Amino acid sequence: MKPVLGVLAAASIVTAAMAGGHAASPARIDVKGMTVIVNHKHEHRPLKQVWNDVDQPTHFRCAGAAGCLVVIQAMVEMSYSTTTWRVCASVAGNVASPGCPQQGDGNHFYSTTGDVLQSAQVGPGAHVLQTRIGLPPKTPVHLSLRRWEVHYTIYEQ
CATH number of 104's domain? 2.60.120.760
Give pLDDT, residue 11.
47
pTM of the full structure? 0.81
Give pLDDT, residue 30.
84
Give pLDDT, residue 43.
86
Q: Give pLDDT tens digits along the chain (157 positions).
A: 444 444 444 444 444 444 444 454 678 888 889 999 999 998 888 888 789 999 999 999 999 999 999 999 999 988 876 677 889 999 989 999 999 988 876 665 677 888 999 999 999 999 999 999 988 877 666 788 889 999 999 999 9
- Number of structural domains found in the chain: 1
**Residue 75, strand partner residues:** 115, 149
- From residue 145, alpha-carbon distances to 42, 53, 113 in Å are 9, 10, 10
Give pLDDT, residue 12.
47
**Residue 112, strand partner residues:** 78
Range of the domain at 77: 2-156
